[in-house]
């Protein structure tokens, strides 16, 4: 029997990428994975409402006002409690330490709204990524799904998709186009790909 990989989606905001994953699960295209937990680094975010709407458990592990160590210890505890196999960072704005990342080799995946190695790294998050692409005048941008390892931005790239930049674009318009044409398509594809690998590895061990 197929054992589906258990997925935790880590969020900090609106959660449109989480929504894309939940829909792909409901439509049957995330057939090797199951979202078992949505974990937010901030209380009250809309992503938690989306999780509840789809009947998925939500948890808040606050980053604010505590040490990195305490934050990560609680996060790790939640992930182990839900027996998570794969961590998906979908708009998760808290930095994870090299120590934490080392405990999850090839099991953390992130989506970034540019074609890495362009417009990524420190300070490049949210609208800032799209502002920088427009300031530079690039004609094509896109999204990248990559594994996260302990070297910043050093994780293996899994999928990328290009998106055209149009002359009248504002950062907001571009952000929306990158989400619609790339992020919401790529992330479910990459997650299914990883879950398939994980469930096959599990099957070959048992």
Q: Which residues bind ligand GRF (CB under 6 A)?
A: 11, 13-18, 90-91, 111-113, 183
Which CB atom, from 14 or from 57, has the smaller least distance to ligand GRF? 14
- For the bound state, the minimum distance from the C-beta of residue 162 to ligand GRF, rounded and expressed in Å, comes to 15
H or E element that contains 110: strand 108-112
- List, in order, residues 6 or more apart from 62 with CB less than 8 Å away: 41, 42, 43, 71
Whether the CB-CB separation of 106 and 137 falls below 8 Å is answered with: no
Which CB atom, from 15 or from 188, has the smaller least distance to ligand GRF? 15
Which CB atom, from 44 or from 206, has the smaller least distance to ligand GRF? 44
- Which residues carry out catalysis? 112
Select from 77, 32, 14, 84 the least CA-distant residue to 201.
32
61: which 2 tokens? 């592990």
- For the bound state, the minimum distance from the C-beta of residue 17 to ligand GRF, rounded and expressed in Å, comes to 3
Which CB atom, from 88 or from 199, has the smaller least distance to ligand GRF? 88
Residue number closest to ligand GRF, CB atom: 91
- For the bound state, the minimum distance from the C-beta of residue 4 to ligand GRF, rounded and expressed in Å, comes to 22
- For the bound state, the minimum distance from the C-beta of residue 70 to ligand GRF, rounded and expressed in Å, comes to 24
| Cα 56 to Cα 70, 137, 205, distances in angstroms | 25, 41, 28
């Amino acid at each position: 029997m197929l054992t589906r990989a258990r997925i935790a989606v880590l969020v900090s905001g609106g959660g449109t990428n989480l929504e894309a994953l939940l829909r792909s699960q409901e439509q049957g295209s995330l057939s090797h994975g199951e979202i078992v937990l949505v974990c937010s680094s901030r209380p009250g975010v809309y992503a938690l409402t989306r999780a509840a709407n789809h009947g998925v458990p939500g948890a808040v592990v606050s980053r604010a006002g505590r040490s990195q160590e305490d934050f990560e210890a609680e996060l790790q505890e939640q992930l182990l409690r839900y027996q998570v196999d794969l961590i998906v960072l979908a708009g998760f704005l808290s930095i994870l330490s090299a120590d934490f990342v080392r405990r999850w080799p090839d099991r953390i995946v992130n989506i970034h709204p540019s074609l890495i190695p362009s417009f990524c790294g420190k300070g490049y998050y949210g609208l800032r990524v799209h502002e920088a692409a427009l300031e530079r005048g690039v004609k094509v941008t896109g999204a990248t799904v990559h594994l996260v390892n302990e070297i910043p931005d050093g994780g293996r790239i899994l999928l990328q998709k290009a998106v055209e930049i149009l002359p009248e674009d504002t950062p907001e318009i571009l952000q929306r186009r990158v989400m619609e044409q790339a992020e919401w398509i790529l992330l479910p594809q990459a997650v299914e790909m990883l879950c398939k690998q994980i469930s096959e590895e599990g099957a070959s061990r048992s």
